[in-house]
Amino acid sequence: MRVVVADDAVLIREGLIRLLEEFGCTVVEAVGDGDSLIRAVVKHRPDVSIVDVRMPPSFTDEGLRAAVAARAQVPGSPVLILSQYVEVSYADDLLADARGAVGYLLKDRVIDVDEFFAALRSVAGGGTVFDPQVVSQLMIRRRRDDPLASLTPREREVLALMASGKSNTAIGRDLVISDGAVEKHIRSIFAKLGLHAEDSDQHRRVRAVLTYLRA
């Protein structure tokens, strides 16, 4: 897996590089600001970019803005935001093109290396992985016209866990229901959101999660 790393903190950046290389990834470039991230994505077309939110010069949301700009120049370029902060101002823009291949994890909640690499592989493969706390902040901005209004409370729970990158088995374990029940809820979610069977299950799953996060 070819990776671009964007983080202004040298220790974190170097730590990520060593961790990624230890797990067989190739870090094609590591940068410390948004403009350099855009150039690196355009130059290398990586399998995925790992991006911090707050970078120079203002240390507010440069990373997110640069990730959006990079995806505008390289459509669908996979991006995993890895930050200490929840910043939703440009998160909606990351989701807006409905292509998937985006994630947003909080650094202090990533305590399992295997889980982190599972999320990274998911994003690189076109999936979406969002920390539940990020999902909660996005939901605060829910529009009055809610496309999820037809979903039952249980279906919303299942969709929220899908948005956090959970597999069907993990969803069943968290909700204490069978794999068959999870599959039934997911089929119902697809139907209610108008996601038809001619698309692959993976594509419908991504579109369902994007609908949820943008709702």
Q: What is the CATH number of the domain that holds 36?
A: 3.40.50.2300
Q: 171 and 101 in one domain? A: no
Confidence (pLDDT) at 141: 59
Is residue 52 within 8 Å of 10, Cβ to Cβ? no
Domain containing 172 — which CATH number?
Answer: 1.10.10.10
Helices (H), the chain: 10-22, 34-44, 62-73, 91-95, 113-124, 132-140, 153-163, 168-175, 179-192, 201-214
- Digit-coded pLDDT (tens) for 9-66: 999 999 999 999 999 999 999 999 999 999 999 999 999 999 999 888 878 888 988 9
pLDDT of residue 144: 47
User: Taking each helix axis from N to C terminus, what angle separates 179-192 and 168-175, rounded to the nearest 10 degrees?
Assistant: 110
Domain boundary at 111, 140, 169, which? 140
Contact indicator for 81, 106 with CB cutoff of 8 Å = no
| Residues 91 and 57 placed together within one structural domain of the fold | yes
Q: Residue 98's pLDDT is what?
A: 63
Domain enclosing residue 164, as ranges = 153-214
Cβ(2)–Cβ(41) under 8 Å? no
One-letter amino acid for residue 153 of the chain: P
Total count of domains within the chain: 2
147 is a domain residue:
no
